[in-house]
Amino acid sequence: MPNFETKSGNTLHGPMTWIASDVFIGRSLEAYGQYSAHETVLFQAFIAPGSTVLDVGANIGVFTVALARLVTPTGRVLAFEPQIPVFELLSSNVETNCLTNVSLYQAGVGREAGTLNVPTLDYAADGNFGGVELSQDTSQGTSVDIITIDSLNLDACRLIKIDVEGMEAQVIAGAGETIQRLRPIIYVENDRKQNAAELILALLGLDYRLYLHLAPFYEPNNFYKNTNNYFGESVSANMLCLPQEVEQNIEGLPELKAPEDLVSILP
Give the tens place of pLDDT for each residue, 119-160.
989 999 999 998 888 988 878 889 999 999 999 999 999 999
**pLDDT attached to residue 1:** 43
Q: What span, in angstroms and rounded, lies between the C-alpha atoms of 198 and 170? A: 10
Determine contact, residues 86/129, Cβ cutoff 8 Å. yes
Q: What span, in angstroms and rounded, lies between the C-alpha atoms of 51 and 182? A: 12
The percent helix, strand, coil of the chain (3-state, each to 5) is 25, 25, 45
Cross-sheet strand order for the sheet of 108-109:
108-109, 142-147, 114-118
Determine contact, residues 84/108, Cβ cutoff 8 Å. no
Q: Does the domain made of 6-263 have the CATH classification 3.40.50.2000?
A: no
- pLDDT band (50, 70, 90) for residue 267: low
Instruction: Give the whole-number percent of the chain exceeding pLDDT 90.
Output: 86
Tell me if the pTM is above 0.75: yes
Q: What is the mean pLDDT of residues 183-197?
A: 93
Model confidence over 86-128: pLDDT tens digits? 999 999 999 999 999 999 999 999 999 999 999 989 999 999 9
